[in-house]
Amino acid sequence: MSWVEDVRAELQSLNRREGACGICHDVLEMICKKGGKAVTYERPDGVLAEIYDNKGEVVGEGKDIVSASAILSAELDAGVIPEPFASELSAVVTSEEDLRRTGEIYGYGRVITPASIALEEAKKIGGRTVIRREGIGVVAQAFDAQGNTFFKSPVCYCPVCAVVIGASRNEELARKIRERLAGKRNTGKIKYEQGVENIYEMENGKVFVSIKRGNEMLAERVLACCMVYGMVKAEVVAGFSPKESAQQFKAYCNICPLKHCWVGKSVGSLGNIVLNRLSEINVEVEVSIDGLIRARIPGNGVIEGRGTLCTLSALTNMLLREDAVKILRPKRGSAPEHEL
Is 90 exceeded by the pLDDT of residue 330? no
Main-chain dihedrals φ then ψ at residue 99, nearest 5 degrees: -65, -40
Q: What is the structure's pLDDT at 331?
A: 54
Return the pLDDT at 300: 64
Please report which residue ranges of the chain form alpha helices under DSSP H: 3-9, 19-33, 67-78, 85-90, 96-105, 112-124, 159-168, 171-181, 187-193, 227-238, 243-255, 257-260, 267-280, 311-321, 324-328
Q: In this structure, what are the phi and psi dihedrals at residue 219, rounded to the nearest 5 degrees?
A: -150, 135
Tell me how far apart the alpha carbons of residues 204 and 315 are, in angstroms, rounded to a whole number. 21
d(CA 277, CA 53): 35
pLDDT digits (tens, 9 = 90+) for 122-155: 999 999 999 999 999 999 999 999 999 999 999 9
Confidence of residue 338 (pLDDT cuts 50, 70, 90): very low
pLDDT digits (tens, 9 = 90+) for 149-172: 999 999 999 999 999 999 999 999
In the prediction, which pLDDT does 186 show? 96
Chain-centroid distance, C-alpha 215: 29
Give the model's pLDDT for residue 3: 98
Does the pLDDT at position 335 exceed 90? Answer: no
pLDDT digits (tens, 9 = 90+) for 233-273: 999 999 998 887 777 777 777 767 666 667 778 888 989 99
CA dist., res. 251 & res. 166, Å (int): 30
